[in-house]
Structure 1
Amino acid sequence: MGTRETRHEPGIVVVTVDHPPVNALPVAGWFELAEAVRGAGADPDTRVVVLRAEGRGFNAGVDIKEISADPGHDKLVEVNRGCYEAFKAVYECPVPVISAVHGFCLGGGIGLVGNSDVIIASEDATFGLPEVDRGALGAATHLARLVPQHAMRAMFYTGRTATARQLHHYGSVWEVVERDALDDAALGFAAEIAGKQPTVIRAAKASLNGIDPVDVNRSYRFEQSFTFELNLTGVSDRARDAFVRDGHEGAQWRTS
């Protein structure tokens, strides 16, 4: 369990997240993921990173129960920092990052895939931000990289999800495959990138980040400021408590 790395030739590093039961990451999990991605990118032998997950879905965001159990706001501050560092690590990784997504991709998962370079998804993959229902805000920055502006707003306000096929139609998901073909498809695409001249690919990643129209790090940090404001007023505490008490978490995964 946790985050592990495996290496495939030529220069493909696979970072796998495995936090049962639904890959809702605790504070330590976000920092661990950030460190794994940064470490992979810092290795001069790495040519591409594949980000994937085990279990029922790719990522269910933050561990709401961990935050709800904290009598103060220490865990909230820490998990916000952890998410920021993990998203930043993916975006600033000096080599391309391919996200291989299956099942649900929610909350913080959107931050990860929205900051990755290529998304390959299985037929069962769904993408969404249930933040409003949890008394939080954030990752609209990253959802806006996956769907058009008005679709993003509708999804953000309602918490509705989009399918892998819908995102493929928008052009943000490169390929949709059967679940059992996902890993092979991601590794195959990674091998195509890894076969290019490594120095050129690293320069290409830097140049693409340099021409991005939105500073994703600053934009996401701005969103987080509203989450802290909602917590200071007590609104978020009540939303999280209701979320944990009413068992919405289990229901969400069953419908994803």
Structure 2
Amino acid sequence: MSDQTFETILYEKDATDKFATITINRPDKLNAMNKTVIREIDKALAAAVADPDVNALVITGAGRAFSSGYDLQGGDFDVDIDFWRSDMGENAEALLNIWKAPIPVIASINGYALAGALELMMCCDLAIAADNAKFGEPEVRHNSGPPALMMPWLLATRDVRWLMYTGDLVDAEEALRMHLINKIVPADQLKLKTENLARKLARMPVPALKFTKASINNQQMVAGLLPSFQYNIEAIAALHVTKQGREWMANLAKMSLKEYLAFRDGPFKDLD
């Protein structure tokens, strides 16, 4: 149980087994992530890290999706490049905080993990997916891109280019082949298998996991992960203030989900 209360997520702690769970809780919107979601995940993450009774963390989504990505509806996109730098920077920082957390973080993927939510998943240490899960970075199809480009640090370059250039979605088997995820389980066993992994990690010697994770992360930092994130923020901010970028983002904000999917995927239906 937990005394933490949130608007868009659930935070639950298993004090006996020493792990906590963050659940993105906007199932009516396929757990689309807005600023409140991002900030509340960051706040719950900080609470878990500060809690001596939490040795591992699970992040998942309520209902039939992990998350469909960032919520594009209702935003004000008539803004300058400094707004996008700040906006994308805040999002990237929150995702990097997951990557930096001294405790292991497990992504438990039910249904869709798309766009910014896929980046969130990739910032977790491990990922277990239901056999009906779908993954992708469809942003390129609506003239956008991810705020935190973690994919090149996990996947082979050709797989990165395929996903990022085409916006195609892949199933769990293909995601496993690409090393996007660690394991596939039947959908009705996802919660149990994820929690058992969390229990296993929580029983490990805490200092050993902490320093092992820090050493693995340091390999990526030495190779230039943080500067590459900053470059990506600048690139996507610049994209959003191009003439086409402004027009597309403004149009997207007015669309229903059905209209958006038709707009995003319609031009490519005859090419699969």
Q: When the two structures are superposed, what TM-score results if normalisation uses the length of structure 2?
A: 0.83
Look up the SS of the partner of 1:55 in the other structure: coil
Q: CA deviation at 1:86?
A: 2.1
Structure 1 residue ranges (4+ consecutive) displaced by more than 6 angstroms after TM superposition: none
User: For residues 83 and 209 of structure 2, what CA distance do their matches in structure 1 show?
Assistant: 38
Alpha-carbon distance change, 248 to 145 in structure 1, aligned in 2, over 3 angstroms: farther
Query: In 2, distance between residues paired with 1:170 and 1:71?
Result: 37
Report the equivalent of 1:3: 9
Matched, 1:85 2:104: no
Aligned to 2:123: 115
Runs of 5+ in structure 1 lacking a partner? Answer: none
**How far off its partner does 1:181 sit?**
1.0
Q: Could you tell me which residue of structure 1 aligns to residue 132 of structure 2?
A: 124
Instruction: Describe the shift of the 1:53–1:120 C-alpha distance in structure 2 as closer, same or farther (beyond 3 A).
Output: same
Q: Give yes or no for contact 1:27–1:75 (8 Å, CA) kept in 2.
A: no
Distance 2:89 2:233 in 1: 10
Contact residue 147 and residue 167 of structure 1 kept, 8 A = no
How many correspondences in the alignment?
253
Distance 1:80 1:139 in 2: 5
Summarize the alignment of residues 51-62 of structure 1 with structure 2, pairs less than 5 Å apart.
51-62=59-70
Match 1:38 to one of 21, 41, 46: 46
Q: Write the distance in 2 (CA, Å) between the matches of 1:66 and 1:82.
A: 19
Distance 1:75 1:182, change over 3 A: farther
Task: Quote the Cα distance in structure 2 between the aligned partners of 1:23 and 1:215.
Answer: 32
Q: 2:58 aligns to what?
A: 50
Query: How far 1:128 moved relative to its partner?
Result: 0.9
Q: CA deviation at 1:97?
A: 0.4
Equivalents in 1 of 2:126, 2:8: separation in Å? 23
Partner Cα distance (1:113, 1:35) in 2:
17
The Cα offsets for residues 140-162 of structure 1, whole Å up to 9 and x where unpaired, read as 73223443211110111110112
Alignment correspondent of 1:18? 25
Q: Aligned to 1:193, what secondary structure does the other structure show?
A: helix
**Greater Rg by CA:** 2
Q: CA RMSD in A?
A: 2.5
Question: Residue type matched to 1:167 in 2?
Answer: A
1:223 maps onto 2:237 in alignment: no
- Give me the TM-score of the superposition, normalised by structure 1: 0.88
1:202-226 C-alpha deviation (Å, 9 max, x unpaired): 1211111112264444322211211
Residue aligned with 1:64, SS: coil
Change in CA separation of 1:109 and 1:139 when aligned onto 2, cut-off 3 Å: same
Determine the structure 1 residue equivalent to 2:183. 175
